[in-house]
Structure 1
Amino acid sequence: MAQGGAAGRGAAKAQDQGWAWMVLLAAVVLQGLTLGFPCCIGVFFKDLQHEFQASNSETSWFPSIMVAVLHGGGPLCSILVKRFGCRFAVMLGGLLSGLGMVSSSFCQSISQLYLTAGLITGLGSCFSFQAGVTVLGYYFVQWRTLANAVASTGVSLGFTLWPLLSQYLLDEMGWRNTFLIFGGILLNGCVCGAIMRPIQLAPRSPPQSPKPGEEPGSRAEDAQLSNGASPAQSVLQQHPRRTACLKVLQKYLAFDILCQNKGYRIYTIGVTWMMMGFALPHVYLVPYAIHNGVEEHRAALLISVIGFINIFIRPLTGLLSGHSVFTGRRIYLFSLAVLLYGLSNFICVISAEFTGLIIYCVILSIAMSGVGALTFQVLMDVVEMERFSSALGLFTILESITLLIGPPLTGLLVDITSDFHYVFYNSSFFLISAALFMGLSFCALEKKNKLREASKVPLDNPSRSQYNETPTEPLAGSQSLLAVEYITSI
């Protein structure tokens, strides 16, 4: 196994100091290059439609595939990190992202863009982003919360700069040369990965042999997997390959948690449904503004306004949610942010003037900051940290499915009706219904648990049916748990 893959298994010599801050700077740049990049695709929407004579639905598949692969490739990235280390995964991701965009500049059909910019660039961005944030867990312990908050500002910087750069290059060079330049810019992910050198282990590193209950995938967990009903146990013992397959599924795709943990099930369903409308404004806002007479430069500025406000609001939201007042109530704060996101879409329906769209972008950015800062923090609250990595794998795959199909289905509706207002109607429907579903469901679940406690009815496993706070700090002497806290923002 590569040295980088073993970096988090012992006590590090230089955590929270020295080179760690260079790694943090690289993580900021990396998040701007990966998560911030898809926001600029709307700038090229009309040009791609004209070039390939494609409909709104056909054109929207390209950014949808990119974003879906970026989110859904988490389990594959985790395997890559464990096998080869974070540095290798980040540099491989930078290489794939760059090659994907360079190849896109030579595409002769919209379907070829699905493969190059959608699949290849999306997969590369996934590797770079998730491995880049994983390495922060190795380099930072005491200042990990601060490091994650600072790293997430890279997304906001990307939202601010990518649309402006895209519009300028598009006007000067056309979309093909712009994609070629983007390929060179995204190759800088390899430079960021080179900075993330494997951390040096201290001589007093704990032994490698796992202890019972110490980490996901340990021997204790493997034993629990085999301790089911006696017929299943005998089958597993007779089929070692099937046993290994089930262990991998349990480690990276937590279907057992989905069935047993009501809080996780409600939250996963709610966020998956929410993602049907979450990305619609980012894909269609610029085409909508241009369609209503807004100049192209000013239309691209709208996305930059969203990113600029995110730079300040997102860290503040993260710090606010960490206050003791919101302990056990972050899900309600998250639902409120999703509700505000959905309601803000009606501003675009009321007015398509530039001033009205600016107001919309301000409110949307505030709501989006809350959603981005709390999405994975709430997931940590409803799932025990020992199983967070596997719960996250299933969570991201399910949400990537709706991220993939949401924009194309809405684009098809726009093609049929020739009315862009349906973009914002659809987005509001999915977001508002998801917010109400999550908020009311958790409220009902909390009341049900209080009634059980009042009647003194014991629960076999409270974590399966109760929304509660679980500790996110690693246990004493268990540095390996650092590896599971690797996603902090959307």
Structure 2
Amino acid sequence: MPPSATSNLGYTPPDGGWGWAVVFGSFISIGFSYAFPKSLTIYYKEIQEYFSVSYSEIAWVSSIMLAAMYAGGPVSSILVNRYGSRPVVMIGGLMVGAGMIISSFGATIIHLYMCVGVIGGFGLAFNLQPSLTIIGTYFQVKRPMANGLAMAGSPVFLFTLAPLNQFLFDNFGWRGSFLILGGFVLNCCVAGSLMRPIRGKGPVKAVTSPNGANNKDEDCHSQTITTVSRKKKAGCTDRVNAFIDLSLFKHRGYLIYLVGNVVMFFGFFAPVVFLAPYAKHLQIDEYSAAFLLSIFALVDMFARPLTGVIANTKWVRPRIQYFFSFSVAYNGVCHLLCPLASGYMGLVMYAVFFGVAFGMVCALLFEVLMDLVGAQRFSSAVGLATIVECAPVLLGPPISGALVDIFMDYKYMYYACGVMMLVPGIFLFVMNFYNYRWLEQEEKLRKKDVVERDAEEKLKDDDDDSTNEDKTEPV
């Protein structure tokens, strides 16, 4: 197994200390980013009646918010590369808060599209991506564990915001609730203030990574490649790459990751969205159907940090790409078996296994990307990935809903989502296997070239020495 990508940070990450405060700030920021759009659905019925719009029209609020959050990834990457994570997260918190406060005075549904959807969505993009990036600057050896803890913010906040929103709705209506939530989400600014930029001091220490690689040697090699590539840059490409690293589209491992994720996201969110409606379709009462989501969220809450701990072990860390491939395929198997579950207890078992599978993917989703490209290029990598993944995230649930409308049954939707998860899981496993083999072959060729070049230089030096000796002999 070849080593993971070098951090190339110019220092040895502390793997603790203030880094745990950064993880806590990321926990808050990521929690708001993923849970906030889902938690707003509780207000849809009243907003729908207030503006006299259809359910599909009001549903676009969360869809636009999620799409804007993913589409804002490259902009967020550029700002993080230029100014660092702390100011970007704080600006993002201000944008979401302002969007929610202004939307509480909205007069039309278009007003909500712009304020909650566009402004709030871009604010969430400024919260999400910098929070993921800064963890890689503080952690190296314990990074999977740190990422797992930070990603646990999503189910925890979803579990918390659901009853909070119901309380606000019952007491203040949707306008008052949006005003209060606008102030509540300003806590992202507090989370951003914890993300103190780290300052590397002194030379890089020779630290052995969990894969057995010497990071100092990797950094020196990476810096040499970077120096050579900079000499070759010219014109427009040079100016673009100064903001975001487009050369990632030539990175074989990154392209494998993107292809797998694009297919995966078509079937990733729909099973969560349709879990409660599917239970009602099977004549299960509304309270029990809603409780399935609570079970799912509770299991997901514990699965993410536990996955991070497992991924950080010496047995799994060197094979983390395979662990991610397994978790994606495991999701697909769960969905394929879901229609076979009989009765309410069968759906409870599905919710438990699905919660574990969903938490595993979410905990590893960005860790494996950082493992591929390294912390130095991660900001650009996640920004480019989110813009590519924007389309499947936006279209996945509507396409799944169309399958339900066509067949008048949910099982075909679950079969389709299962295939959409199982196929990329197998694809990622196979392609990562071959990618690792290609990397090993390339590394052997590189070492062979170095040995041959050193031998040629030594032979040349010996010839020069013998020539000099002949010239110095007395006549």
TM-score (normalised: structure 1): 0.72
Pairwise CA distance, 1:82: 3.4
Alpha carbons of 1:75 and 1:294: their partners in 2 closer, same or farther (altered >3 Å)? same
Distance in structure 2 (CA, Å) of the matches to 1:326 and 1:142:
13
Q: 1:391 aligns with which of 371, 381, 385?
A: 381
Alpha carbons of 1:122 and 1:213: their partners in 2 closer, same or farther (altered >3 Å)? farther
SS at match of 1:323: coil
Distance in structure 1 (CA, Å) of the matches to 2:414 and 2:105:
33
Q: Which residue of 1 aligns with 2:256?
A: 266
Q: Which residue of 2 aligns with 1:191?
A: 190
Q: Which residue of 1 aligns with 2:311?
A: 321
Instruction: Give unmatched runs, 5+ long, in structure 1.
Output: 1-7, 227-235, 463-490
Q: Which residue of 2 aligns with 1:76?
A: 75
Distance in structure 2 (CA, Å) of the matches to 1:182 and 1:40:
11
Q: Which residue of 2 aligns with 1:332?
A: 322
Q: Which residue of 1 aligns with 2:245?
A: 251
Q: Which residue of 1 aligns with 2:265?
A: 275
Q: Which residue of 2 aligns with 1:487?
A: none
AA at the equivalent of 1:186: V
Moved more, 96-105 or 293-302: 293-302
Q: Which residue of 2 aligns with 1:157?
A: 156
Pairwise CA distance, 1:127: 1.0
AA at the equivalent of 1:223: K
Moved more, 279-288 or 397-406: 279-288
* 1:62-109, Cα deviation, whole Å (9 max, x unpaired): 333323333342321122223333222111111111222334444455
Q: Which residue of 1 aligns with 2:335?
A: 345
User: For the Cα contact (< 8 Å) 1:94–1:124, is it kept in 2?
Assistant: yes
Q: Which residue of 2 aligns with 1:97?
A: 96
AA at the equivalent of 2:78: I
Q: Which residue of 2 aligns with 1:65?
A: 64
SS at match of 1:31: helix
Distance in structure 2 (CA, Å) of the matches to 1:16 and 1:82:
23
User: For the Cα contact (< 8 Å) 1:101–1:182, is it kept in 2?
Assistant: yes
Pairwise CA distance, 1:378: 2.7
AA at the equivalent of 2:125: C
Q: Which residue of 2 aligns with 1:222?
A: 230
Q: Which residue of 1 aligns with 2:39?
A: 40
Q: How does 1:146-185 map to 2 (within 5 A)?
A: 146-185=145-184
User: For the Cα contact (< 8 Å) 2:151–2:362, is it kept in 1?
Assistant: no
Alpha carbons of 1:22 and 1:337: their partners in 2 closer, same or farther (altered >3 Å)? closer
User: For the Cα contact (< 8 Å) 2:144–2:311, is it kept in 1?
Assistant: no
Pairwise CA distance, 1:252: 4.8
Distance in structure 1 (CA, Å) of the matches to 2:244 and 2:68:
21
SS at match of 1:35: helix
* 1:174-207, Cα deviation, whole Å (9 max, x unpaired): 44443333222212112222344555776x699x
Instruction: Give unmatched runs, 5+ long, in structure 2.
Output: 1-7, 205-218, 449-475
AA at the equivalent of 1:251: D
Alpha carbons of 1:106 and 1:330: their partners in 2 closer, same or farther (altered >3 Å)? same
AA at the equivalent of 2:394: L
TM-score (normalised: structure 2): 0.74
Q: How does 1:75-154 map to 2 (within 5 A)?
A: 75-107=74-106, 109-139=108-138, 144-154=143-153
Distance in structure 1 (CA, Å) of the matches to 2:148 and 2:262:
24
Pairwise CA distance, 1:157: 1.1
Distance in structure 1 (CA, Å) of the matches to 2:353 and 2:242:
42
Pairwise CA distance, 1:38: 3.1
Pairwise CA distance, 1:223: 1.5
Pairwise CA distance, 1:403: 0.7
Moved more, 33-42 or 182-191: 33-42
Pairwise CA distance, 1:365: 0.9
* 1:297-340, Cα deviation, whole Å (9 max, x unpaired): 55444333223222322222222233343355433332222222
Pairwise CA distance, 1:386: 5.4
Structure number with greater Rg is 2
Q: How many residues align?
A: 427
Over the aligned positions, Cα root-mean-square deviation in angstroms equals: 4.1
Q: How does 1:12-31 map to 2 (within 5 A)?
A: 16-17=16-17, 20-31=19-30
Alpha carbons of 1:80 and 1:380: their partners in 2 closer, same or farther (altered >3 Å)? closer
SS at match of 2:178: helix
User: For the Cα contact (< 8 Å) 1:30–1:192, is it kept in 2?
Assistant: yes
User: For the Cα contact (< 8 Å) 1:271–1:399, is it kept in 2?
Assistant: yes
* 1:228-281, Cα deviation, whole Å (9 max, x unpaired): xxxxxxxx4xxx4x2444434761562222xxx1x4323211111100111112
